Structure 1
Amino acid sequence: MYDAILVPTDGSEAAMDAAKHAFSHGERYDATVHVLSVLETSESAAIVGRGNEKLETLREQGDESTRRIVDEARERDIDAVGAIEFGNPDRAILGYAADNDIDLIVMSTHGRSGVGRFLMGSVTEQVIRDGDVPVLAVQR
């Protein structure tokens, strides 16, 4: 049913919770788990004029959060690959899903509602709304 599963990560424990669900599906369907860290364009734009140190720090953080999930998947004998992209998170996630024939996206949601949701927005909600790939939203 699923050959390729995508887990976007921001390095949070909520993302690790989502990864555990992805591992379960990966084991059940013998699917490859793709782990994606998106470094937001707005953060990248904020570093202009500050040199490459901030950019490198962001890249290292993305690499670490991606590697953590990939390593855990491989410990469970699940095929896993990691990637880092720059840009708007929901667009980068959907673009990666399209480019890599992803069958399922498993991602966390913080369960915000009301004003918090309005002010903060929801990457998960945007992916669900704008994408054509099934999304398993894991609420923390």
Structure 2
Amino acid sequence: MPDTDLSYDDILVPTDGSGGTQPYLDQAIELATQHDARIHALYVVDTRVRSIVRDAVWPDVQSDIRVDADTAVKSIEGAAKRADVDAVTAVRTGIPHDEILAYADENDIDLIVMATHGRSGPERAALGSTTERVLRQAHVPVLTVRLDEHRRD
């Protein structure tokens, strides 16, 4: 019988800084506690934003994004530390799913924990899905936690 004892040492928690991180962050922290693992909080500054912002305002927008990024990863780090879980933070620039996958490879991540909004149909097709792309391309397990406002119990 195959060995089914999974062990996680490093758990990646990507964030876009939007609200609603608590459900998937709780899952990541619980797993980190059970496995004595470290949390990696990652924010990717999406380079595609640059193409829709006028040159005159780009420095201000870029500064605001950096503040948001630092706040988001520090929030995750703080939650982890309150749970007595080691945490590291990183902010990268690029296409989110590419940077998440690269970070996972470069840092020997054992598990990625991400949120999914449960969109379907035209909305999902129009917006694309970072989580879906990571799910399809990751070389490690990916745990998704649905963040629907109207959860079914």
Q: Distance in 2 between matches of 1:31 and 1:44?
A: 35
Q: Is the 8 A contact 1:37 1:65 kept in 2?
A: yes
* 1:50-106 Cα distance to aligned partner (Å, 9 max, x none): 352211110000110110110110011100011101110100100000010000000
TM-score by length of 2: 0.87
- The structure 1 segments of at least 4 consecutive aligned residues displaced by more than 4 Å after TM superposition are none
Structure 2 gaps of 5+ residues are 1-6, 148-153
2:122 is the alignment partner of 1:115: yes
Q: Secondary structure at the match of 1:128?
A: helix
How many pairs were matched up?
140
Larger Rg over CA atoms: 2
Return the alpha-carbon distance in structure 1 between the equivalents of residues 125 and 40 of structure 2. 29
Do the aligned residues in 2 keep the contact of 1:31 with 1:79 (CA within 8 Å)? yes
Bigger helix fraction:
1
CA contact under 8 A between 1:8 and 1:15: conserved in structure 2? no
% identical aligned pairs: 41
- Residue 48 of structure 1, CA deviation: 6.0
Distance in 2 between the 1:115 and 1:9 partners? Answer: 24
Q: How does 1:121-132 map to 2 (within 5 A)?
A: 121-132=128-139
Distance 2:90 2:53 in 1: 21
Question: Which residue of 71, 77, 86 maps to 2:84?
Answer: 77
Unaligned runs of 5+ residues in structure 1 are none
Question: Deviation string for 1:13-49 (max 9, x for gaps)?
Answer: 3333211110000000000000001110111344462
TM-score (norm 1): 0.95
In the alignment, what sits opposite 1:93?
Answer: 100
CA distance in 1, matches of 2:21, 2:96: 14
Q: Please, which of 17, 21, 35 is the counterpart of residue 11 of structure 1?
A: 17
